[in-house]
Structure 1
Amino acid sequence: MAGSALIVIDMVNTYEHKDAELLLPSVREALPGVVTLLETAREREIPVIFVNDNFGQWRSHHGEILAAALSGPHGDLVKPVEPDENSLFVVKARHSIFFETPLGYLLNQLEVGHLVLCGQVTEQCVLYSALDAHIRHLDVTVVEDAVAHIHAELAQAALRMMEVNMDAEIRPAREAFAPRQAPKG
């Protein structure tokens, strides 16, 4: 059986975008779950892959993206989830972690067949990433207490869609790496 990887979506963030004020309270709620996932993955030597927007800074690399986020007004939300020396980092330009990125190739090299998704935004990047993982025949777990949203009602609908339409398992952080349940149906 292929292994798992923890995918941390857009948590290295300056929060300098139009929906930031709506997003920030949910990020604060999701942060402990993301920290739990990072600790568990690192303890179990499960690959941790940060897939992050570059915020239109096409000359930047992951170190510059991280430095900007840590030094920004909400660096306190980035510091607890800061990538360590073993973390992998993939820069993305759009919503899906797969769109125009080398993530598919990386997952193949790591022999990963199960993605544990956390981060932001549930009803956008997490949803589109789960769909793209599903159409690539990857198993997906979305960690409900480690994803942040802009609109709570859309996030709940997105979680339900991922569960029903994409066979994603929706789990709390403490159960994220437990063996998957048998497929429904």
Structure 2
Amino acid sequence: MNKTALIVIDMINTYDHKDAELLLPSAKAVVPVLTGLLERARRHEVPVVYVNDNFGEWRSHHGELLDRVLAGPHADLVAPVRPDENSLFVLKARHSIFYETPLTYLLKQQGVQELVLCGQVTEQCVLYSALDAHIRHFDVVIPKDAVAHIHADLARAALLMMERNMGARVCLSEDLWK
């Protein structure tokens, strides 16, 4: 059995970007699902790694980013899914969780071979991260009810691409860590 890690993508978010109004309804639907997924993963001692945009603030650390978001108008979307004391945290600059980050090294050090990708945005950061995971020979799982989207049609296409082109297992979150 391959060691699995749950990767939470870009959920520490201010939602003050140009597509936020389109993303918010989907993010609101994903938060309760993701909360349950996080609880089950932690109960089964699955490593949880948050990989998050840094909002262009390279002098910040993850605690500062979290404080800023929790003080904002969408704290209700972040508080339930925030990192706990055992969570790992990686800052990223661009769409992929791997681009210019130490994530590959961290995962290899932990002996992780399978990645469960959740968070946002399905048709952007999740898709590009799944491709980068695939080319690094990680097994990829996408719980389709635990990823938020901006455009539903593009999200459906992205899930299909991840499944067909990258061999990702697309499932429901309830199928993981029962």
TM-score (norm 2): 0.98
Match for residue 182 of structure 1?
A: none
Partner residue in 1 for 2:45: 45
| Within-5 A mapping of 1:33-182 | 33-177=33-177
**In structure 2, distance between residues paired with 1:63 and 1:113:** 28
4+ residue runs over 6 A deviation: none
Aligned length: 178
Alpha-carbon offset, residue 177 of structure 1: 4.3
The AA in structure 2 aligned to 1:125 is C
Measure, in 1, the Cα distance between the counterparts of 2:69 and 2:87.
17
* Alpha-carbon separation, structure 2, partners of 1:46 and 1:20: 30
Q: Is the 8 Å Cα contact of residues 44 and 177 (structure 2) preserved in structure 1?
A: no
SS state of the match for residue 145, structure 1? helix
Aligned to 2:12: 12
- The answer (yes or no) to whether the contact 1:116–1:176 under 8 Å persists in 2 is no
Deviations 1:101-127 (A, max 9, x none): 000000000000000010000000000
Deviations 1:148-168 (A, max 9, x none): 000000000000000000000
Secondary structure in 1 matching 2:85: coil
Q: List gaps (5 residues or longer) in structure 1.
A: 179-185
Task: State whether residues 115 and 141 of structure 1, in contact with CA within 8 Å, keep that contact through their aligned partners in structure 2.
Answer: yes
Deviation at 1:176, TM superposition (A): 2.8
C-alpha separation between the residues in 2 aligned to 1:175 and 1:162? 18
Q: Deviations over 1:114-143 (max 9, x none)?
A: 000100000000000000000011000001
Deviation, structure 1 residue 2: 3.1
Query: What is the distance in 1 between the residues matched to 2:177 and 2:28?
Result: 22
Please give the alpha-carbon distance, in whole angstroms, between the structure 2 residues aligned to 1:30 and 1:82: 14
The residue type equivalent to 1:149 in the other structure is: H
What code does the residue aligned with 1:134 have? Answer: H
3-state SS of paired residue (1:101) = coil
Q: Percent identity?
A: 68
- Deviations along 1:47-86, whole A, 9 cap, x unmatched? 0000000010111000001011111110000000010000
Letter in 2 for 1:18: K
Q: Offset at 1:37?
A: 1.1
Q: Distance in 2 between matches of 1:129 and 1:90?
A: 14
- State the TM-score, normalizing by the size of structure 1: 0.94
